[in-house]
A and B are shown apart, each in its own frame.
Chain A
């Protein structure tokens, strides 16, 4: 179980990483009046990666539920 949790943490860090970097980028772009299209792209990436992270967590939960008798 410990290994599976470690793997979950590792897998979830990928999309979280992209979310944080895009959020920082969005802040910088907004402050500096940067390219609005680039800002939109960063925000879209945050949304997509949040959904990917959610899928990873959901898959983990489903896997546990399948293995755990009701």
Chain B
């Protein structure tokens, strides 16, 4: 494969055995993947903070710590992690702690073991599942509209701001736009909320040696590294307002000045940003400069929530399940009744929550079972806490009835403290006692 073509997968190899590291990097490179290496926890952490990887191969015994320490820095929902170990007992530990997104291989590795791990990264569609722009699944009208918009905006080079709830797949849409754009440079993603306000400037714009304590060498920022490609700024509203001024200048001048430098460097990165907030919330919470908004949102694009496209749920479930079956050697399927139940749920966590549910079902279902077992109820603690208590209806009830309920529930809330309840209700304690006496008399008459 011509290595100048877009690589199949972005891979990070972490192992302190340099002979193994070099050979494996060359081997995967010959197969067309883009490979970076790290020989320590510190080096790997730095590379993980700087860019996204589709797959990480991770040795556990590293000179400055355990590979497990790195797993906390990896979004295992988006990055597949394979632990390479010489110790089979690791398997149970890995499964218990990290579920099915982290698998393991026992040394010695062979090409036959490595190659199947990349099949999802080759973006091959399975059977009847089309993978639009190499990233997106869905055939509902809202998704087809989205694909049309992506095709139109991709080639223009315009900065795009993606709006949508958490878990709808904004980064995947950003990648889709990049893939459709034909831009030759890389796609780099970063979360503006992941860095401290002191470090984010250096991450985005780079720094000169000695610019601050710990700046031991000159370092390129993400804008330089994404030049010719696409830079995805997730959670853009988490960027400190002070830094937004610097970002605005970069977008206006198309140059960056690294921290500690006086020389501007020309950059040519297309910026796609994303936020969970609505446009109204952007204004209300004043978390973004208005002038920056206009530069970033040359084309604002709403990514639909999963509840707007429930007909895509079967496609998504089958896609997730195929990947999980392939990785773990299982053969689970899902029945139509469960698909109908899944389509009925509201999905406040969107596609991410759906994947989580499928993933958990795979863990909870016995390996030799044919069909996945889903829980009786769907919903995460976060989704349940957002659901408001059903307000009791007042229409059709007498005033006495509503008053009685209000008094009794207020007493219950304050542990039958009549003084406190009377204060909250705005009546005297004597009035409260009179009401309670009347209710007791009513109860006795009824009995």
Is B87's CB within 8 Å of the partner chain A?
A: yes
Q: Chain B's nearest CB lies how many Å from the CB of A2?
A: 12
Question: A48: nearest residue on chain B (CB-CB)?
Answer: B19
Given A28-B30, A48-B19; A21-B86 close (CB under 8 Å): no
CB < 8 Å A-B pair total:
58
Q: Within the assembled complex, what's the spacing in Å between the Cα atoms of A45 and B111?
A: 17
Are A20 and B86 in contact, with the CB atoms below 8 A? no
- Which residues of B are found within 8 Å of A6, using beta-carbon distances? 87
Count contacts on A: residues with CB < 8 A to the other chain: 24
- Which residues of A are found within 8 Å of B106, using beta-carbon distances? 13
Question: 8 Å CB contacts to B: which residues of A1-31?
Answer: 6, 9-11, 13-14, 16-22, 24-25, 28-29
Question: 8 Å CB contacts to A: which residues of B14-37?
Answer: 17, 19-20, 23-24, 26-27, 30
Contact of A10 among B24, B27, B84, B86 (CB under 8 A): B86
Is B4's CB within 8 Å of the partner chain A?
A: no
Are B30 and A19 in contact, with the CB atoms below 8 A? no
- Which residues of A are found within 8 Å of B84, using beta-carbon distances? 17
Residue of B19, B87, B111 with most chain A CB atoms under a 10 A cut-off:
B19
Is B108's CB within 8 Å of the partner chain A?
A: yes
Are A49 and B111 in contact, with the CB atoms below 8 A? no
Are A18 and B17 in contact, with the CB atoms below 8 A? yes
Question: A22: nearest residue on chain B (CB-CB)?
Answer: B23
- Which residues of B are found within 8 Å of A21, using beta-carbon distances? 20, 23-24, 27, 108-109
Is A55's CB within 8 Å of the partner chain B?
A: no
Contact of B86 among A9, A25, A28, A29 (CB under 8 A): A9
4 closest Cβ pairs, A-B complex: A13-B86, A17-B107, A13-B107, A17-B108
Q: Which residues of A contact B (CB under 8 A)?
A: 6, 9-11, 13-14, 16-22, 24-25, 28-29, 32, 34, 38, 42, 45, 48-49
24 A–B pairs (Cβ distance < 8 Å), ordered by A: A6-B87, A10-B86, A13-B107, A14-B20, A14-B86, A16-B108, A17-B107, A17-B109, A18-B20, A18-B23, A19-B108, A20-B108, A20-B109, A21-B24, A21-B108, A21-B109, A24-B27, A24-B110, A28-B27, A28-B30, A32-B30, A34-B30, A45-B19, A45-B23
Q: Other than the known A13-B107, A16-B108, A29-B30, what 8 A-B pairs have Cβ atoms closer than 8 Å?
A: A17-B84, A18-B19, A18-B23, A20-B110, A22-B19, A25-B30, A28-B30, A38-B26
